Each structure stands twice: as structure tokens, then as C-alpha cells.
Amino acid sequence: MMNTDNVYSFVKEIFDNMCNSYKRIFGNPDFLPTNDKDNNRATGFTERNLTFNFCHSYLELNEKGVIWQEMPIIGQSHQHIDSVIVHSDTLLLIEAKRLHSPYHFEELTSKPSHKTKRQHRTNPYGDLYRLQTYYEDIPIFDKQKYKACYAILLADFLIQRSNNKQTVNDTYHSFYKEYFDNQEYKVFGNDKMEYYLYYKVVPIITK
């Protein structure tokens, strides 16, 4: 079993590999990290791209590893974990968010303070809280088999330099960078926009 220090180093290696993948993607001029639908340039940068590329990067480094998407939580209707990595006797439970606003940051890190009725039903708690509370309720969990479990929070943030929210975006950027312990990577930048990826490791079970 990896100790906590090894897990932190291991996840950073996966994240760095993921960031290199994003830089290769953005080397193709057809792909931009934008939601500019008016100019037909939006290519659908969703949370699924974050989890897919992270898990794919893991498999590039560990070809015998096991990954699974949208692992259900037993007894919690409409609840799942975005991605699960099984690495020997260690579980990595992954949740991802695009940080369009402070509300999305709340969804990822804590219990959101304002939600619609439908959102309350489908995600009444923040993602990190859900991982910390219900990790034992995923179908594969076996405390005799898995000796360690970690939450991995992934996020991205796009700063548009060409709009009137630049100062606000810079403030959010500083806040997000601090929360994610400076674990960020700028994978795209030009005179109009900057695109950042973040990750955070939160121990759930360590032995």
C-alpha cells in the first residue's frame, strides 16, 4: 500500500501527464477552451473531459490499472461518483467541476447554500462531502481489500480577457489557486483567454 506522501506524488504525476495531454489538444487550432457559441467555436468542454483525461493519463502510466465511470452510491438515489481508480489496495474517488462561478466551487467543495428543488434532490451535498460520507456505500468497497481511500478534486477555470469581468476573474483565480494549494497548471493562454487546471488530494482512509 502506498503511504500518503507516495499518493500525493503519484497523483501529481497523473495530473502532470493529463496537463500535457491538454496542451497537445490545444495544439490543434480547432480546439479552444471556450463557450463562445455565438461564433460556433464551443467544442463542449465539459466535466467529463476532466475525468476522462485524468483517468486516461492514469492508464498511460499504469496499463494494468482499473478505472470506472459514474460509480453509483448504494441507497442514494441519483447519486454517483464521477470516476473511480482502483490502484492495488488504494481507491481514488474523483469528482470534477468547471468553475464557471463561485456556486460551482461550492458544489465541489462544500454544501451549496442555494439550489433549485431539482438540484437539492439530485445533489443535496457538495461533492467532497459526498465522497467523505458515502465512500463505503459504493458497490466495490471492501474494507478488508482496500486499505486506503482518497478524494481527488479536479477543476478548470477559464479567464476571458476580452470581457468586462477581468478583475472579478482574477480575484476568483487567486482564490481557487489558494484552495487547491497552488496545484494548478496553465494549459492554454493567448491575448484573449487563459485556461487553468487544478487538483486537490483529500485523504479519506489512510493506514
Residue 159 has pLDDT above 90, yes or no: no
Per residue in 170-194, pLDDT tens? 788 888 888 998 888 999 888 888 8
47 grid coordinates? 466535466
What's the domain count of the chain? 1
Instruction: Specify the pTM.
Output: 0.88
- Which range, 55-69, 150-164, 165-179, 183-197, has the best average confidence (pLDDT)? 55-69
Contacts of 98-104 with C-beta under 8 Å, sequence gap 24+, read 98/45, 98/46, 98/47, 98/50, 98/155, 98/156, 98/157, 99/155, 99/156, 99/157, 99/172, 99/176, 102/172
Q: How confident is the model at residue 13 (pLDDT cuts 50, 70, 90)?
A: very high
Q: What share of the chain is helix, strand, coil (3-state, %, to 5)?
A: 40, 25, 35
* 118 has a pLDDT exceeding 50: no
Note down the domain range covering 147: 4-205
Q: What is the mean pLDDT of residues 55-71?
A: 95
SS3 149: strand
